[in-house]
Amino acid sequence: MPTRELMVDELGSGERLDVWLSREVEGLSRSAAQRLVASGSVLLNGAACVGKSCRLALGDRVLAMLPDDEGSAGQSSLAPADIPLDVRYEEGGVVVLSKQAGLVCHPSPGHEDDTLANALVARYGAAHLGMLQGEERPGIVHRLDRDTTGLMLCARTDEAQGALQDLIRLRELDRRYAVLVQGYVAPETGLIDVGIARSRRDRQRMVASDGERAREAITTFTTLERFEAGARDDGYSLLECHLYTGRTHQIRVHMAHINHPVVGDPVYGQGDARKNLGLARQFLHSWRLSFENPETAERLSFADSLPEDLADVLVELEDRSLGRTQRGALLVPALLGDATALREVVDLGLAGEVDRV
C-alpha cells in the first residue's frame, strides 16, 4: 500500500481533511478520500483523524496510506443511464461531446444516477472509461456546470484521462466560451486575474477573493458585440471568454466581479426576470476546443454553435445591436450556426491561430 506524506500550506489552512486530500492527491475522488479518513488510513500529525469535522492548520503533516491504484477503483459501479449524448469525436481514448443543458457531470446530492457519468457508463461500459478521477467520475476529464452547454472532453482510458488533464494543467487545452453579460463592456479585450474561494456564508457559492484561501483564477475576454440599453436594462455585451484555469463557476464569478454578471445566472446574476431576456439558465456555452491529441499528436479543433434557446436571445436583440467588433464579425455568424463561418473557425484552430481574425 503506497503512502503519501504531505504538508498543509496556506491555501489548505482551515479546510476539511478529506476535501483537501482529494484535491492534493491526483486521481483521488472526494468519496474515496472520505473512506480513507473514516478507515483510519490518514494520519494527521501522527494520529488518525476519522471524523468529517477534522480541520487543517498551516504546517500540519498528513500521511495518507493509499490504495495500490491511488484511488482508482479500476471499474465504476455507477448504474448506466439511457441519456442521449451528442458525441463529436471518438478516437482511441479521447472523446469530445457537446453537453446539453440540465445535465450534471457526475453524481452529487439529488443526482445519483442521472448524470453524464452514468450516460458514459451506458455508452462505453464501466470497464472502458478512465478512472483516475475516482469511481464516481468515470471518463470525466473536466466539468461544465449543470446548465452550461457545449463542448467538453471525456476519456475512455486512464492513460488518455491523465494526458488530457495534463493539457489542462499545462494550459495547452484552448477552451473558449460564448457569454452574454449585463451592461456595456467598453474594452475590446480584458484580463481578470482574481482568485476564487468558496464562500464562508454559503457553501454553494464561490467568491472572487485575494485572500489566502483563494485559488488562482485567470480569465481573458474579447468583446464580440454590444447591444444598446432598453427601458428596463442597461444593455448587453456578447463576449468570448478564454479560460486559463478551471475553477468552479469561474466565468460566472469573474463576470459578476467586474459588475457584468452573466445573463440568466440564477446564483451570481440579477434577479429581475425582465433583464434576463426570458432565459431560465445562464447564457454560457463552451463553444470552441483546440488541442493536440496526446495519443496521436494530431491537432484537433471543434466549434459548436449556440443551442436554440441562446441563439434565440441574440436574434431577439438584433435590432438593438451597436455593431460587431472585428472579431465578432467572424465569430458571431459561427455562433449562430453559419456553416462557412464555423468551418473557418475550425480551420483557424487546426492551424493554431485561434486568436487571429
Contact 194, 208 (CB under 8 A): yes
Contact 205, 199 (CB under 8 A): yes
Distance in angstroms (rounded) separating the CA atoms of residues 253 and 259:
10
Q: Is 317 helix (H, G, I), strand (E, B) or coil?
A: helix
Selecting among 145, 158, 233, 265, the annotated active-site residue is 145
Contact 246, 286 (CB under 8 A): no
Question: Which grid cell sits at 100?
Answer: 446539453
Residue 67 amino acid letter? P
Residue 98 amino acid letter? S
What angle is formed at CA 220 by the lines to CA 20 and CA 172, rounded to 5 degrees?
A: 65
Secondary structure tally for the chain: helices H, strands E: 8, 16
Contacting residues for 40 by C-beta, under 8 A, at least 6 apart = 48, 50
Residue 348 amino acid letter? L
Distance in angstroms (rounded) separating the CA atoms of residues 312 and 153:
27
Contacting residues for 273 by C-beta, under 8 A, at least 6 apart = none
145 is catalytic: yes
Contacting residues for 59 by C-beta, under 8 A, at least 6 apart = 7, 8
First to last CA, the chain: 53
Distance in angstroms (rounded) separating the CA atoms of residues 50 and 54:
8
Length of the chain (residues)? 357
Neighbours of 75 (CB within 10 A): 15
**Burial bucket for residue 286 (CB in 10 Å: 0-12, 13-18, 19+):** buried
Contact 193, 265 (CB under 8 A): no
- What are the catalytic residues? 145
